[in-house]
Amino acid sequence: MRKPPEADPLARLIVAARDRGIVDAAQAAALESIAAEIDADGGRADDAVSMPPEARRNTTEQGRPFNPVIIAYAAGALLVVFALGWFLAERWRDLGAGGVLAVSVGYAVAFALTAWVLARRGFPVASGLAATLAVAMTPVWTFAILRLTGAWPVLDSSDALTRYEPWIASRWIILELATIAVALITLRRVRFFTIALPLAAAFVALLVHIGTALGDPLIAWYVGPFYLCVVGTFTLGLSYVIDRRQDESEDYALWFYIAGVVVLAVGYMQTWNRIGSWRHALPLIALVLVLAALYLRRRVLLIAAGIAAFGYLAYLAFDVFEGVLALPIVLAGLGLLVIAAAVWAQRRFPKLVARINEGSPASRKTLPGGLISAFGPVVIAVTAMLFAADEAVERTRERDWRMQFYRRRAQRELIERRGADTARRADSTRVAPAVRPPR
């Protein structure tokens, strides 16, 4: 028998929606009919408005996927990782490779079982974070296996191979491939966006170590930062592909965007002293990031654009116009302008996104030019790296000559210092002739 309207939460909800104009009378009648069918099937009408066991979250970046519940879960997960890392760092030598393997596999199994139990009890967020912790243990037990099999010898050994960077990079590649494989397998069973975090980190590290393993170690010191820019731009292009292909249930592309921006920023800062007038291209990069943020509805790209603009202003302040008397006043004004622009962008970002993407579905994220726009920066970065490789040979010769020159000068100064010290000690030990007293 149907409850009276004053005792039925669903009936009160339908009446309130009708009175506030959210639904019309026909829609309210249809909702009441559905509620009556639920009662006729033996269900309870108040079950339709019952709270789930875990607080729901929005799954898109535009919908802010980080609510207080997931932040609390993430804090607990970080505490677990910190405690585990502390334990392994303190007991690494005592445990040995076999002990580290046993502990890491035990933790991975415990995290996997916890994820399975939490998923069955209706806690998908907590289950996804536990599965992420299980994936994060992969590099540890993979390293322990390599150490047990002798594929990763002790780095402080007398073996010269352990000091050869391309060979060490090949060992890291094994760890990263194992992490990527485990993360992809986990994603087939557990659909949660934080599992893409170790996947993105391992993918970026894999690209970096592939470059180290295949590159020329003699010029890597000069070409390496340019290669980081290649890795960063390629990761951002791949992020666009993932963003286009993923569904709305989980946002896996977020972590690839973050990884690409971080690597590109590190590479650009390391090449800063070598690119000359190309430093002034940084405002253009910031503008491109702003446009990409609007088309792709990505706040992380908007934040990256703000950091790029601030970095260029800092360069103008502390390098180009360092001697200008009124610079502190202008710099303070620019700082206030940056704050005002950030507040304006934060408030206007949803409306700007709606205006830029007017007429396109909310689930469709497309850049003007598509893949050409996404991977065009990769071509620019590769071109810069090739020019840097040609220049690196001459720079390496100059560096080696300079190091040999300073080494020879230091040896010569050391020899001269030792000769002076020897002469000084000889003078101090020489006995003065005795003076006869007068008669």
Q: What is the pLDDT of residues 46-95, one digit of tens each?
A: 444 445 555 555 555 544 555 677 777 778 877 877 877 777 777 777 77
Counted residue by residue, the chain has a size of: 439
What local confidence, expressed as pLDDT, does residue 227 receive?
94
Spatial CB neighbours of 74, under 8 Å, sequence gap ≥ 6 = 129, 194
| CB of 64 closer than 8 Å to CB of 58 | yes
Neighbours of 395 (CB within 10 A): 15
What local confidence, expressed as pLDDT, does residue 196 receive?
92
What is d(CA 210, CA 176) in angstroms, rounded to the nearest whole number? 11
Tens of pLDDT, residues 204-252: 999 999 999 988 888 888 888 999 999 999 999 999 999 888 877 788 9
What local confidence, expressed as pLDDT, does residue 167 receive?
86
| CB of 187 closer than 8 Å to CB of 236 | no
What local confidence, expressed as pLDDT, does residue 237 receive?
93
**What pTM, to 2 d.p., does this model score?**
0.74
pLDDT exceeds cutoff 50 at 45: no
Tens of pLDDT, residues 241-298: 998 888 777 889 999 999 999 999 999 999 988 888 888 888 899 889 988 888 888 8
**CA nearest to 254, candidates 68, 64, 386:** 64
Domain ranges of the chain: 5-49, 66-208, 215-410
CA distances from 60 to 18, 200, 231, 272 (A): 30, 18, 26, 35
